[in-house]
Structure 1
Amino acid sequence: MTDPEVTTLVEDGVHRTVCRMCHGGCGALVDVRGGRLTRVEGDPDNPNNRGFLCAKGRASLDQLYGTDRLTRPLLRTGPRGSGSFRPIGWEEALDRVADALDRTRTRHGPESLVVAQGTDRNYQEWLFRFANSYGTPNVLGPAHVCFYPRVMAGILTMGAFTFCDYEGSPDVVLLWGCNKSMTHGDGVIGTRLLDAVRRGTRMIVVDPRRTALANRAQHHLPVRPGGDAALALAMIHTVIEADAYDHDFVRDHTVGFEDLADHVAAYAPEKTEHLTGVRAADVREAALAYASAPAAAIELGTGAQQNRNSFHVSRALAILSAICGNIDRRGGDVIFEPPGIIGRRTLPLTEALPTEQHPKRLGADRHRILSMAGWAHPRAVWDAILDHRPYPVTTMLVHGSNLLVNYADSDRVHAALDSLGFLAVADLYLTPTAAMADIVLPVGGWLERDQIVEHAHYVAARRRFAQVGECRSDEEILSGLATRLGLGDTFWDTTADSLDARLAPIGMDFKALTDQHYRATPLTYEKYRTQGFATRSGRFNIRCDALRAFGYAPLPVHRPVAERPEDGPYLLTSAHSPFFFNSEFRNLGPLRAKEPDPVVELHPEAAAREGVQDGAWVLVSARGRTVRMRARVTDTIAPDVVVAAATWWYPERGADGGWRESNLNRLTGDDDENEEMGSSNFRGIRCAVRPEPDA
């Protein structure tokens, strides 16, 4: 793209907004000079980040003015995946997509359409609204390996989910599978943690790697990949055995404590050392440091939600928080309260999906908790496309997801996409997934759309600053398709109308929110004392009888990964990069320069054993497949653990993007996922590492 294709839509000056290059939701200042956006930096007056902005946020203008942006709708003219397209107009593009969606609805039923998304860019609820109105129960996303094991564990355990109250100055924060200073979750970014640490908060870090946070922590527990549930249960065992739990809370507000006490007898730290890789003495010391803190919070990251025990880890840590009296406590784990707008809970219009469609959700027969959250399971989607089990899926509408590198068993994902009758992809770039589409729809980045930002602590306005080519927002695209499919009565005439309507319940419109910019959501504590918990019993369900009714374990358990010793001697896991966001941004020069190659970390003992030199190219193998990465030799991990870069591809290589060469998900499988959420097992699989011949 050339600069003239970018039209600036605001006057010169410094403007406040909210960044969305990742999930952090940092306040940002956008400087406009001479009709051009010249700088994006952190907003020092935003209480969420207080002026901090990560490398990804600072690269926002490289995305806006990038030469590889899609700017016009494209129609495929060559073989799928070839990258052969010709530009078409928006009316033709939307007509073609709507016609394909209408055909599959007529011939095979609305469930034959799968609507997919990547990481949420504040339009997730729009996708659900569209799918529910259309009649398909099949929305596909990374929920099963991201935030939703924790969300659904919280809902079934206490009727809600929680977030860390850093402003309440917790005495201890237990960071579990979460490198918070480098990667950021929705609205709760690393600066909040680091501010609390500067005020005296102590850290307990559970991570296979000795990260910078682990070096600053009072306790570091280097859990073996896949051993998280056993470690959490060992900590619960220690707290109960030492009589260090909150007797009053347990007696007055929980169900099933006696069952729990009996259950965790089998998880003494000495009995679980071989599963966790952590010395029993260290487990006991850390558990009692957590339990004795006047107020403590748990920050659970995706590192613990990407194995077969994801749901059980999430449940166990919620229980640990509860029995230590930290649920909804100031400085503890505060129960989320919606801010009152038409947002995450109501915008999806769940009631529009016909009742008879719910049981048709792909994967609902096995992964019932994932299905309760409204998500289809990826393996079931590929089964429906490739084998027409339990019915045919012929059509996919994908928004902002490079499916080929983000899902387990990427080769099978490719086969499924190649078999589709029709595929439409809305994205900023021609990713390997978009290159397989019949129609590609160009969308705008975060600087190119007006949005309402809804987080745990606030509601804020994200402003539209520029127009790139003919790009449209995902919201506009979905509204255009809805109108063509006769679903217009469930959408608004314009996205501007939708913003005003969503804010009306709190007596605001989008202009008022833009003028105010940031509307804080006041926190309240210990709501359960007057309201109880939003469960059938009104109590915190340590023992969850609803899970038992579903056929699942009513108490958290540890289930070992089904290992394949023939795959190699090392336990493979992965880590998020501070410079990329999952599969995004490898095409942005300033970020790629900081991490130009896919890296696999291994211990010096492993490197010596395999004859691997630091910085050399190596081959990592599992499940009969091999990928290529550059070695980094480090003593920050255990000798039998390797940590690899995930979701790698090479945008500079054209339409194919070299997605096979270094894509870690070619080595992962979805045949050992957990029952409740169907989480793919990305952590703790066996692998081999060897030097690349003639590298």
Structure 2
Amino acid sequence: MKSVCRMCHGGCGAVVELVDGVPTGIHGDPDNPTSEGYFCIKGKASLDLLRSPDRLTTPLVRTGPRGSGAFEPVGWDTALDRIADRLAAAIGRHGPESVVLGQGTDRNYQEWVFRLANALGTPNVVGPAHVCFYPRVMASIMTYGGFTFCDYEGDPEVVLLWGSNKPSTHSDGVIGVKLLRAVERGSRVVTVDPRRTQIASRSALHLAIRPGTDCALALGMIRIVIDEGWYDRDFVAAHTSGFDELAEHVRAYDLERVARITGLAPGLIHDATRCYALAARACIEAGTGLSQNENSFDTHRAIALLAALCGNIDAPGGDLIWEPMPIEGRRAFPRSDLLPEEQARKRIGGDKHKILSMAGWVAPGDLHEAIVTGSPYPVTSMVVFGSNILASHENTGLVREAIGKLDLLVVCDLFMTPTARYADVVLPTSSWLERDQIVEFNSYIAARQRIATVDGCRSDEEIILELAARLGLSRHFFPSLEAALDAKLAGIDLTWEQFTKIGYIRNEKRYRKYRDGGFATRSGRVDLMNNGLRALGYEPFPSYRAQPEADPDLPYIMTSAHSRRFYNTEFHQLPTTSRGQTAARVTVHPDTAEREGLTDGDEVDLYSRAGARGVRMTVRISDSVAPNVVMADAGWWYPHESSVDGQLRSSVNLVTTNDRSDVHMGSATMRGFAVGIRRRGPGRG
């Protein structure tokens, strides 16, 4: 049976082998036009996930202190009734804004979470948006009215791979195999990454940038493009506004200054700019590595300006603006019209991180501070769908304090995570093989059909329907999941049953759509200078905010990456994914190892404040990073440890803070900050 994998954010085609209706094997679908048969180790672990003996299979109610792991099983009706009663009581006492809905990386139910929030009347939805996809989305929207994806099938001459290890980290229905196929056909790759990844080793140029300085590089490249006359004069004249002002703004980013900031050779910066700007067809793959520092939004906006100046927006082989198919999906299904304006104005952090608020999200740092302080109003309840926030949100200490103060914490998950151990009620959810969903990405929509059932588990969508009914919100929802899927497909005149027989519908590309009526901005042009940002109290051009002065006690710059074996904080308890690596690692240069007296396999603590608690890592020595850079594994926790402290001892968020965040998005500085290394001696706890 054919389906679409959801073990990560990629959406590869999958073939599930069935014997008497029971899944017995899984592999990539060679006929899937998006993934072409590619299937990674996470996808191959799907049956591990389905059958894991560690799966939660009954609702649980806490009986001991938070974090103790003491629960008793209850029935679904009992659990849901308890949750609904306590949410209703919280709303009655403190208003709907006192309730927060949380989620992890979108599992194609994000629009359901927002619909429930809007129907409840709460403006507070929290997730990883601020350090993931949304800085790029909002920067693109504020620049040319939509977000883009690389047109690899349009045979770009050059791909600028920036803060993205695309062959290993797939996203948004754009699978790394498409980049590799383009390379096979002759595309050259220019990689901007602090680490020499496998694709960086194969690139025409590799810019091993100092972590956190990408915004300065992008602004410097813009200046070179303008000074050298490498911009697309016809496109700039006909379709942009603010060119002269931008040219003046980037005068401050001369080549020598940018080289000092980024740690890159001036000639390498110039060569990379020439390579990209003079290509007849070029695209930029900007990854989440750019979204996790205080320059997050401005970095993505500067990159958007660079692409526009070179005429690569909506062009063959360039950066295509997404044109959604006419289904009720990510844009319409959340029903933002249900949230009254007076409630939207109460969004926590909305007055501080206005661009994130425009997208409907709350930054975790703002939320956790509000819970702890009780300001601007009491936040008493949180329902979390598919997110281990103690491991994934920045500043673990603050997260732990905040969830400890809640009157009600509900966690919907497949496993007993550190976050679930703090919950009052835990609801067992289903894996992707156990649910019916419409998969919506930029390049296609597809049917993900329920192939198996684990007794006692329900999908997040089913949980939301049940809670909505108990809270008196059924008028905003549907009598069944199938009815909801039918409604989502009405715009293309299909029912869910009909769609399952089709399985996959490609979203056909249209190039240079702006020729039919301009860009979807107020001006109808690409806003190089953005007066909308100015009206919100921000600068109309991106600027680089410098890193703090070096601290001799913290001589290294820490960045991080997720192992390709796992997905964010997931799958550490599965045998297929965990077989090759059992502990979190930090990669250090041989010079660093010699300076600190380290050998491969040593245990160290990384710390961001002298004398403070660190995060425990195992040393890996490699010249793939610079001598002043350390690369830590992110998203790590140990499922089988008996205490929350033991489970989280290698979580990098033990040393991340909210001290330096992006003013537009609230993006935490989770990469590109100073740390020290402390070798762990015998007997250290």
TM-score by length of 1: 0.97
What's the offset of the Cα at 1:412?
0.9
In 2, Cα distance between the equivalents of 1:365 and 1:287? 37
In 2, Cα distance between the equivalents of 1:282 and 1:91? 63
Which residue of 1 is the match for residue 390 of structure 2?
A: 404
Structure 2 gap segments, 5+ residues each: none
Which residue of 2 is the match for residue 10 of structure 1?
A: none
Which residue of 2 is the match for residue 97 of structure 1?
A: 83
From 159, 173, 176, the counterpart of 2:162: 176
Which residue of 2 is the match for residue 583 of structure 1?
A: 569
Q: What secondary structure is seen at the aligned counterpart in 1 of 2:410?
A: strand
Structural mapping, 1:602-621, within 5 Å: 602-621=588-607
**Per-residue CA shift, 1:655-678, capped at 9, x if unaligned?**
627244111101010121010001
- The answer as to whether partners of 1:651 and 1:657 remain within 8 angstroms in 2 is no
Structural mapping, 1:234-383, within 5 Å: 234-383=220-369
- The answer as to whether partners of 1:207 and 1:222 remain within 8 angstroms in 2 is yes
In 1, Cα distance between the equivalents of 2:440 and 2:265? 41
**Per-residue CA shift, 1:135-162, capped at 9, x if unaligned?**
0000000000000000000111111111
From 209, 214, 218, the counterpart of 1:228: 214
Structural mapping, 1:466-505, within 5 Å: 466-505=452-491
**Per-residue CA shift, 1:328-367, capped at 9, x if unaligned?**
0011000100111000000000000011001100110100
**Per-residue CA shift, 1:205-243, capped at 9, x if unaligned?**
000001110111111111100110001111111111110
Which residue of 2 is the match for residue 79 of structure 1?
A: 65
In 2, Cα distance between the equivalents of 1:303 and 1:197? 22
What's the offset of the Cα at 1:21?
0.1
What's the offset of the Cα at 1:566?
5.5
Is 1:433 matched up with 2:412? no
In 2, Cα distance between the equivalents of 1:640 and 1:659? 29
In 1, Cα distance between the equivalents of 2:207 and 2:131? 22
In 1, Cα distance between the equivalents of 2:675 and 2:568? 22
In 2, Cα distance between the equivalents of 1:545 and 1:641? 38
Is 1:414 matched up with 2:400? yes
- Residues 665 and 41 from structure 1, CA distance in 2 versus in 1: closer, same or farther, beyond 3 angstroms? same
Is 1:451 matched up with 2:437? yes
From 647, 650, 661, the counterpart of 1:673: 661
- The answer as to whether partners of 2:161 and 2:191 remain within 8 angstroms in 1 is yes
- The answer as to whether partners of 2:641 and 2:647 remain within 8 angstroms in 1 is no
Which residue of 2 is the match for residue 634 of structure 1?
A: 622
In 2, Cα distance between the equivalents of 1:398 and 1:248? 49
Return the letter of the residue paired with 1:609.
R
Return the letter of the residue paired with 1:689.
I
Return the letter of the residue paired with 1:637.
V
What's the offset of the Cα at 1:553?
1.3
In 2, Cα distance between the equivalents of 1:293 and 1:35? 52
What's the offset of the Cα at 1:253?
0.5
Return the letter of the residue paired with 1:651.
P
Which residue of 2 is the match for residue 113 of structure 1?
A: 99
What's the offset of the Cα at 1:172?
0.7
- Residues 430 and 161 from structure 1, CA distance in 2 versus in 1: closer, same or farther, beyond 3 angstroms? same
- The answer as to whether partners of 1:206 and 1:221 remain within 8 angstroms in 2 is yes
> Percent identical across equivalent pairs?
53
Return the letter of the residue paired with 1:108.
H
- The answer as to whether partners of 1:569 and 1:687 remain within 8 angstroms in 2 is yes
**Per-residue CA shift, 1:552-579, capped at 9, x if unaligned?**
1111110013356155100000012100
In 1, Cα distance between the equivalents of 2:588 and 2:141? 38
Is 1:534 matched up with 2:499? no
Q: What secondary structure is seen at the aligned counterpart in 1 of 2:456?
A: coil
- The answer as to whether partners of 2:14 and 2:28 remain within 8 angstroms in 1 is yes
Q: What secondary structure is seen at the aligned counterpart in 2 of 1:239?
A: helix
Which residue of 2 is the match for residue 645 of structure 1?
A: 633
From 43, 64, 71, the counterpart of 2:50: 64
What's the offset of the Cα at 1:618?
1.3
Q: Bigger CA drift: 646-655 or 136-145? A: 646-655
Return the letter of the residue paired with 1:673.
S
From 154, 158, 162, the counterpart of 2:144: 158
Which residue of 2 is the match for residue 139 of structure 1?
A: 125
Return the letter of the residue paired with 1:316.
A
Q: What secondary structure is seen at the aligned counterpart in 2 of 1:75?
A: strand
**Per-residue CA shift, 1:159-205, capped at 9, x if unaligned?**
11110011111111100000011111110110011011111111000
Return the letter of the residue paired with 1:392.
P
Which residue of 1 is the match for residue 499 of structure 2?
A: 513
In 2, Cα distance between the equivalents of 1:26 and 1:140? 27
Which residue of 1 is the match for residue 671 of structure 2?
A: 683
Return the letter of the residue paired with 2:591.
E
From 520, 527, 536, the counterpart of 1:550: 536
- The answer as to whether partners of 2:369 and 2:398 remain within 8 angstroms in 1 is no
What's the offset of the Cα at 1:36?
2.2
- The answer as to whether partners of 1:513 and 1:519 remain within 8 angstroms in 2 is no
**Per-residue CA shift, 1:232-260, capped at 9, x if unaligned?**
11111111111010000100100111111
Which residue of 2 is the match for residue 6 of structure 1?
A: none
What's the offset of the Cα at 1:464?
0.3
What's the offset of the Cα at 1:509?
1.3
- The answer as to whether partners of 1:308 and 1:561 remain within 8 angstroms in 2 is no
What's the offset of the Cα at 1:519?
0.3
Q: What secondary structure is seen at the aligned counterpart in 2 of 1:417?
A: helix
In 2, Cα distance between the equivalents of 1:251 and 1:637? 42
In 1, Cα distance between the equivalents of 2:333 and 2:549? 42
In 1, Cα distance between the equivalents of 2:405 and 2:49? 32
Q: Bigger CA drift: 66-75 or 505-514? A: 505-514
- The answer as to whether partners of 1:236 and 1:320 remain within 8 angstroms in 2 is yes
- The answer as to whether partners of 1:430 and 1:655 remain within 8 angstroms in 2 is no
Is 1:692 matched up with 2:672? no
In 1, Cα distance between the equivalents of 2:360 and 2:125? 7
Structure 1 gap segments, 5+ residues each: 1-14
Return the letter of the residue paired with 1:282.
L
In 2, Cα distance between the equivalents of 1:263 and 1:298? 22
Return the letter of the residue paired with 2:10.
G
In 2, Cα distance between the equivalents of 1:496 and 1:459? 17
Which residue of 2 is the match for residue 7 of structure 1?
A: none
What's the offset of the Cα at 1:465?
0.9
In 1, Cα distance between the equivalents of 2:428 and 2:215? 42
**Per-residue CA shift, 1:625-677, capped at 9, x if unaligned?**
21111000000111000000112110011462724411110101012101000
Return the letter of the residue paired with 2:660.
D
Return the letter of the residue paired with 1:366.
K
- The answer as to whether partners of 2:418 and 2:644 remain within 8 angstroms in 1 is yes
Q: Bigger CA drift: 128-137 or 664-673? A: 664-673
In 2, Cα distance between the equivalents of 1:117 and 1:263? 39
In 2, Cα distance between the equivalents of 1:611 and 1:537? 59
In 2, Cα distance between the equivalents of 1:219 and 1:513? 45
Q: What secondary structure is seen at the aligned counterpart in 2 of 1:618?
A: strand
Q: Bigger CA drift: 587-596 or 324-333? A: 587-596
Q: What secondary structure is seen at the aligned counterpart in 2 of 1:204?
A: strand
From 3, 8, 11, the counterpart of 1:25: 11
Which residue of 2 is the match for residue 523 of structure 1?
A: 509
Return the letter of the residue paired with 2:324.
P
In 2, Cα distance between the equivalents of 1:246 and 1:283? 20
- Residues 407 and 161 from structure 1, CA distance in 2 versus in 1: closer, same or farther, beyond 3 angstroms? same
In 1, Cα distance between the equivalents of 2:679 and 2:70? 36
